[in-house]
Structure 1
Amino acid sequence: MLRNYFKIAWRNLWKKKIYTSINILGLGIGMACCLLIAIYVQDELSYDKYHTNTNRIYRVVHAETYGEDLKNTAPPAPGEFAVWGNAPVGPALRADFPEVEEVVQFSGRADILLRYGDKNFQEEGIFFADAAVFDLFSWKFIAGNPKTALEDPYSIVLPESTAKKYFGEENPIGKTLEGSSAPGRANAGNYRVTGVIEDIPENSHFNFPALLSMNTFRKSREDIFDMWGYVDFYTYLLVSENFSIEAFEKKIPDFITRRRGISPDSKYTIALEPLSDVYLKSEAGRQPGDTGSLPNIYIFSLIGLFILAIACINFMNLSTARSLERAREVGIRKTVGAARKNLIFQFLSESVLIVTFAAFLALFFVFIALPFVADLTEKNFRSVDLFNWQSALVYLCIIFGLGLLSGIYPAMVLSGFKPALILKGISNTHTKGAALRKGLVIFQFSLSIILIIGTCIVFTQMGYLLDKDLGFDREQMLVIDYNYDGRVNNKIETLKNTFNHLPEISSVAAARTVPGSYFPNAGTTIESQEGTMALNVPAIYEVDVDFIHHFDLELAAGRAYSRDFPVDTIQSLVINEATARLYGYSNPGDIIGKRFQQWGREGKVIGVVKDFNYLSLHQNIEPLTLRLAPSECRYLTLKVTTSDLPAAIARIKDVWTHAVPHRPFLYKFLDEDFNRQYQADFRFRKLFTIFSCLAIFIACLGLFGLASYTAEQRTKEIGIRKVLGASVTNVVMLLSKDFIKLVVIAIVIASPLAWYAMTRWLEDFAYRIELQWWMFTLAGIAAITIALLTVSGQSIKAATTNPVKSLRTE
């Protein structure tokens, strides 16, 4: 019997090649998309799960509120916490809470120039770490002793790839790397290699090219390890098996009061984040590495389900539409004694067979597409990861599950035919099935239209991010990174003058940071309108005298730094408008001349620049102070005016190599570097667009199949209408209008759902577009156009068929 079922199934599939191809291709693409999305989502969800004690590791996050009425201040929101915090909190937690078994702290990220022989590289994102770091984190040692590797000052542990970069196949243990200073953390010195570990897995919330011993940092700045107000540390805890985070959080207020005391100027608190949550769920600022987006995970998961649902709907629609062709077969089988359960099993077997073919096709698609998706997502996906017994088991379950899900309704419909009526040529199943098919078409096109609208809005928002006026000049700004090198800062004016004499350069400025890069915060006291000194902690840019004019920052009040006022270097401060508002001045001019204190400097506010977006447009403009400190700079920024950039870069490199031979020429363009903040957003746009197009394509496949079947069933009617004088246009409209009505209904259903979903997505951006009616209208027109193009091909073919032939063959 089973052999007979599969033989009949194979004959039916082979007989109707077009419908079989549509079903298998649609299901294959749908399953491939789901598999690719599942691989991506699984990778995102796997971050930091490779550690042995993942469930027992927590990260400390810090929040500090400033103001007058601190007692009545609301608890900080998750987004007001920062991962970056003070050093004393770690040992204090270890001492006061027996459930805290171990504390590990990192400091960084530091960028250090390392040399070995004639090889030198500026390594970015090096961390200083406690010696116990390998007790918490499961980073596997290749060489060295994990217990002692980071005990001594100036010891360094390298990942395998970094070790090979400097030492090749040599044994690096005991060898020395010459290192530059780590500003604010350690002086230059020789670092002895004490360990080599396997490269950090990509699914880690932070990565590093090397780890330096925390005692290196401690040796140069012992005092800050006892300062609750100095922030430069990331603190991780290993807790006991029976740890309760709820019970722990209740003890935090007493702990803060006991250890740090009560401050009249600020209110400080901490919270814990489970390690397994820090990549996708943390909203805290100052992250040590990249973070993911849980909403994007939900969106991609929904898209995967949408695509699979659309593919399954195609199968159900075409199966029920063709049910009348199998009616006589069912009638004969029932007449000779076949039970309904046997017929259901038969048709489900056919469904599983189709899904099996589609599954193999999906695997082929995945194998072809995986390298492209890996490149697009910047992840290391491998085809070999798909072929293991766990994946095979899951895939088999999916095949049978989809086969049953897609085939159950067609099987119930076909097996329910009454043999007496069917053999007489009477059936009322056509009208019942038609209503369901229309509902399913509306449903799948509603999903497709939601994706069309979403794609339109995503593209518009990304274009807005790129085109928005940020309030500063970022075009053709070449940024040279010399990493705070004192020898460069000592001759910075000479360098600037040399570059200014190049015809390709119109202006030059130096700064500790540039928009889009790292910056610290500084405790800053400014005189309030009442005459009292108010403390806040705005961001700080340390700049040279030319920075404001070089970046074309507009002044809202006062003046910029000037060489005409030498006293600016010791007693002047420029701020932005957001800082003026922070201290209670709605009119920027009112803060000019007010007293300030910041990092040991006292003087008066001399200028207020208009707010500019030095942060990503995901964030509002935050308070910022611009402190004149040319000796603290890291970057040299050159405004390039020529269109021949390669030639200009070559000349700039020649000047740099001659003037600063000990520093590599490391450069970037500011606009490209600033836009890297949106790298995840652009990646999301590409993935969203690709999968949306595939979903629409699958929906069109189903519509094409239904249009073909409808035209085939109405061949005789079309022939009669043409004999009676109907034009090709009349026939095309006749066959198309029913489908267009369904698409219009889908537009009405999809538009409010898309509006709600995309409004929520846009909430992640502080600066965002407003949803406009034309976006939904454009998506609706696109959907109707796509449907018309899909249906009209078959409609035109039917309309242009010779009526004599169609009437004779019918």
Structure 2
Amino acid sequence: MLVHYTILSLRRIWRQRQVNLIRVSSLALGLASGLVIFLFVNYMFSFDRHHPHMERSYWVVTDIIRENTMQTDAAPRPLAEVLRRDYPFVESATRLETVFGRTIGVPDGKNGWAKKFNEARNVCFAEPQYFNHFLVKWISGNPKTALSSPNTIVLSERYARKYFDRADPVGRTLRLDNRVDLTVTGIIENPPANTQLRYDALISYTTIPDLEQSGAMQDWEGLQSMCFVLLREGSNPGQLAGTLDEIRKKNLSAEKAARFAYHMLPLPELNHERSGMAPRPVLYALIAVGLLLVLAACINYINLATAQALQRAREVGVRKVVGSNQFQLIRQFLFETAILTFFACAMSLVLTQMAMPLVNRTLAEQVDMLHPAISVLDLLHPESLKWFLILIAGIVILAGLYPAWVLSRFNPAKALAGQLTTQTVGGFNIRRTLITGQFVLSQLFLIIVLVITAQLRHMQKVDWGFSHERKLTVWLSPPNPVPYDQLRQSWLQLPGVESVTYGSDPPASPYNRPAPFSYHIASKPEPFETRLRAADEHYIAAFGLSVIEGRNFRPADTTAQEVLVNETLVRQLGVSPASSIVGKRMRIMDKDRMIVGVVKDFRSGDLHQSVLPVTLVNDLGHTTMAVLTLSPNFPKTTLKAIEQVWDETLPDRVYKADHLDDLLGSFLDMERLLAGFVQAFALIAMAMSCIGLYGLVTFMAEGRAKEIGVRRVLGARTQQLLWIFGREFGRLILIGFLVAAPLGWWLTGSWLQQYVHRITSSAWLIAATLGLTVLITLLTVLGHALKAAVESPVKYLRAQ
């Protein structure tokens, strides 16, 4: 019987290959969309799930409670040592400190460098306990002793090749910041792509005291390290929560303890909380979108299958006459659906794999992910394969059961006599509902696309309040100081360089942490905080900032006594007029300073925030970048000459430069990624809608064939016959629009609330959605409807 079903189904599929190709393509497109989303979400949920002891591993983080609660991913340096020393229920605790902007050099043995690298994000300071807590596979070296001594380093395979090519790295020397020699004591396998702990070089934690001031390792107010805790088997996690509160109160004064709150997060949440890349609500929303796209593909299949139902009436009648019962017919039609689903599944796997390079490249570029390698082969994992097979079975049942049930209910006498009508196969109501649902989905995506695109363009035109064109930022890697005057004078002599200034950040920066301060004679910090910028006397002119009260920094201020504040800070202090703040003192960064001027407001962060209080401190010692302003038509050789000056002045450091406009553009990376995703989903949803429309117009043409023939005989014009179709689709579009418009308005309005600098949801965006839907619908159904309208009425009347 199975062989019989297979032969009949394949013969039927081939005979109606055109419509079946559309059905398979639609199903494949929807399934491929769902698979791409599933593979992405599955990959994001797989982060840091490979470590041992996951059920008793925790990540300790800190909230800073001041004007607003600021969540961090760090903890005080002494915390891990106190936990493992004084609390028996803690099996282990380990600290990590990620390196940013450090120089690692490979000595050439001749007081020079064979190679130099500016390292960030992939290098960290780590304790020996790290290797017990996290899964690290060793190639050479002893994990118990590799990081037990100061000035040692463990490298991954790729970093070993990066530094030493193919030579044996163990026992070789690297130099950190031209201050400390590090001996390579071990080689480990490369970290997997799906980890937040993507470290290729681990420097012994005991190296830090030689690089910093005394007392830095016992600082309970600073938040420099990431702290991970492994509880003993059978320990209650609640003990750790209570202990963290106890330690905070014990090591900080009551006033300072009130400003901090320690929290414990399960290790599997590393990629979904704080510094993670994939918040769970976003992943759940993506799952919902994927299911909707698969559901839309199933709706199309149902529409196209029932649209062709009348063509199979005689086949069903004959089968019933020769003895087939309803269950056997349902089983055969479901089997046919399973074959089509198999073809759709094969096509979807090909489409999915074709999309994977783009997905992987986008994640690596936009989300700064380490070499993601998502592939359809991930579906072969037992858990993924189980869900995939359940999904396929669900599609077969969802897409095939209703058409099979409709076909199997045909009356054999009417079927053989040709007396079946569209009412026999369920009429229009179910199809209308399904197509309306597709209209809701496609119009909703269109509204979201238009709003996100408009917001993105609006943000690209924002006035930052300072000059940012033709600015080149050159990073001053630690340690400071550098020969500031020598560098500036050398650069200013180059053709195409107009000015040079030093600062800790540009006026707008992603590293925008607040700093407490007290004003005038206040003994306690103010109820709000300020954002700090270390700068020199050239900073104001270089960025085109305006001093509206007082004056700029004086070159003679070499003790960092002078500060400038912006209008917002003055306004929040309640000082009026603004000129009265000049000459007053403020305590910031544990030092009393003098306010010498007020700067006109400028944006200091991304466009989610309003203009914030900002303080500029005349402090070269805390600057981390040089900003060079280039002339409008600077020579092509200028950029190379700037690097040559750096290499001649600072031969031990790595030159690293970026254009400021690129840094400001990075504020919009997430919006661009979101816009790309939504545009792709909208395109797929519209394609699904078009295929569904094709099925409905086919069904209408067959169901109203006699009516069309009679109207044509009575003299109806082609335009009047087309109105039969236009009225039906216009009603469905309007119903879908009435549902999608308020839902889209609410969703986009809620999303826009996160931006201070935002557009307002306007009526033209909603109207444009309706217009685009009408246009796409017209282009989809016009050809088929016109063919039905101009067909000879004799054909229709004879068929009835």
| Alignment of 1:5 onto 2:5 | yes
Partner amino acid, structure 1, of 2:326: R
Aligned equivalent of 1:445, options 439, 446, 449: 439
| Aligned pair partner of 1:140 in 129, 137, 140 | 137
**Secondary structure in 2 aligned to 1:639?**
strand
Is 1:358 matched with 2:344? yes
Instruction: Tell me how far apart the structure 2 counterparts of residues 228 and 367 of structure 1 sit (CA, whole Å).
Output: 50
Instruction: Using the TM superposition, name which of 543-552 and 566-575 deviates more.
Output: 566-575
Seen in structure 2, the aligned counterparts of structure 1 residues 607 and 373 have a Cα distance that, compared at 3 Å, is same
1:350-380 Cα shifts (integer Å, max 9, x gaps):
1111111111111121222222222223232
Name the SS of the counterpart of 1:474 in structure 2. Answer: coil
Match of 1:634 in 2: 624
Report what 2:773 is aligned to. Answer: 783
* Structure 1 position 37 matched with structure 2 position 37: yes
Unaligned runs of 5+ in 2: 109-113, 365-371
Structure 2 CA distance for aligned equivalents of residues 23 and 747 of structure 1: 26
1:73-84 paired onto structure 2 within 5 Å: 80-84=70-74
| Map of 1:185 onto structure 2 | none
CA distance in 2, matches of 1:48, 1:343: 50
Cα offset for 1:193? Answer: 0.8
> TM-score, normalised on structure 1?
0.90
Deviations 1:11-36 (A, max 9, x none): 33222223211110000111111111
Matched, 1:171 2:156: no
Contact preservation (8 Å) 1:555, 1:609? yes
| Distance in 2 (alpha carbons) for counterparts of 1:342 and 1:212 | 70
Alpha-carbon distance in 2 for matches of 1:43, 1:121:
31
Aligned position for 1:294: 280
Alpha-carbon separation, structure 2, partners of 1:335 and 1:533: 91
The residue aligned with 1:190 is 181
Contact 2:431 2:696 in 1 (8 A): no
Which residue in 1 is equivalent to 2:19?
19
> C-alpha separation between the residues in 1 aligned to 2:581 and 2:235?
50
- Distance in 1, matches of 2:580 and 2:164, equals 60
Partner of 1:124: 120
Query: Aligned pair 1:149/2:146, yes or no?
Result: yes
Query: Which string of whole-angstrom CA distances, capped at 9 and with x for unpartnered residues, describes residues 53-94 of structure 1?
Result: 233222222234348xxxxxxxx85xx232233222323333
**Can you list the C-alpha shifts for 1:225-253, whole angstroms capped at 9, x where unaligned?**
22212332222211233344445434544
1:377 is aligned to 2:363: yes
Is residue 681 of structure 2 the alignment partner of residue 691 of structure 1? yes
Q: Distance in 2 between matches of 1:250 and 1:421?
A: 78
Provide the aligned length of Structure 1 versus Structure 2: 783
Give the unaligned 5+ runs of structure 1: 68-75, 182-187
Pair 1:476–1:83, CA change in 2 (3 A): same
Q: Secondary structure at the match of 2:328?
A: helix
SS at match of 2:254: coil
Counterpart-to-counterpart distance in 2, 1:756 and 1:242: 47
Whole-angstrom CA distance in 2 between matches of 1:585 and 1:777: 48
Query: Which residue is equivalent to 2:111?
Result: none
Q: Give the equivalent residue in structure 2 for 1:271.
A: 263
In the TM superposition, 1:414-425 aligns within 5 A as 414-425=407-418
2:201 corresponding residue in structure 1: 210
Distance 1:558 1:241, change over 3 A: farther
Partners of 2:234 and 2:614 lie apart in 1 by 44
Separation of aligned partners in 2, 1:208 and 1:677 = 25
Q: Secondary structure of the residue that 1:437 maps to in structure 2?
A: helix
User: Contact between 1:321 and 1:434, CA under 8 Å: does it hold in 2?
Assistant: no
Q: What SS does the corresponding residue of 1:59 show, helix, strand or coil?
A: strand
8 Å CA contact 2:61, 2:72 repeated in 1:
yes
Q: 1:71 matched to which residue of 2?
A: none
- 1:736 equivalent among 726, 731, 735: 726
**Partner-residue secondary structure (3-state), 1:296:** helix
Distance 2:238 2:257 in 1: 28
Q: CA deviation at 1:679?
A: 2.5
Partner Cα separation in structure 2 for residue 786 and residue 622 of structure 1: 46
Give the secondary structure class of the aligned counterpart of 1:570.
Answer: coil
1:346 aligns with 2:332: yes
Structure 1 residue 318: deviation in Å?
A: 1.8
Instruction: Give the match for residue 751 of structure 1.
Output: 741
Q: For 2:197 and 2:574, how far apart are their aligned partners in 1?
A: 38
User: How far did residue 329 of structure 1 move?
Assistant: 2.8
Q: CA deviation at 1:322?
A: 2.5
1:516–1:677 CA contact under 8 A, matched in 2:
no
Corresponding residue of 1:92: 82
**1:317-466 → structure 2 map (5 Å cutoff):** 317-378=303-364, 379-387=372-380, 392-427=385-420, 430=423, 432-466=426-460
Kept in 2: contact 1:47–1:276 (CA 8 A): yes
Indicate conservation of the 8 Å contact 1:484/1:633, yes or no: no
Shift in CA distance, 587/464, structure 1 to aligned 2, threshold 3 Å: farther
Q: In 1, Cα distance between the equivalents of 2:688 and 2:254?
A: 63
Judging changes above 3 Å, is the alpha-carbon distance between structure 1 residues 266 and 397 closer, same or farther for their aligned structure 2 residues?
closer
Q: Work out whether residues 39 and 378 of structure 2, in 8 Å CA contact, stay in contact via their aligned partners in 1.
A: no
Q: What is the one-letter code of the residue matched to 2:97?
A: S
Taking the aligned partners of 2:694 and 2:489, their CA distance within structure 1 comes to 69
Which secondary structure state, in structure 2, belongs to the residue aligned with residue 40 of structure 1? helix
139-148 vs 310-319, greater mean Cα deviation: 139-148
Could you say which residue in structure 2 is the equivalent of 1:653?
643
Distance 2:181 2:349 in 1: 52
Q: CA deviation at 1:648?
A: 3.4
Structure 2: which amino acid aligns with 1:463?
R
* 1:561 matches 2:561: no
Name the Cα RMSD after superposition.
2.9
Question: What residue in structure 1 maps to residue 660 of structure 2?
Answer: 670
Name the SS for the 1:483 alignment partner.
Answer: coil
Structure-1 separation of matches of 2:762 and 2:635: 39
Identity of aligned residues (%): 29
Q: In 2, Cα distance between the equivalents of 1:586 and 1:45? A: 53
Deviation string for 1:28-50 (max 9, x for gaps)? Answer: 11111111111111111111112
Relative to the length of structure 2, the TM-score reads 0.91
Please name the residue that 1:73 is paired with.
none
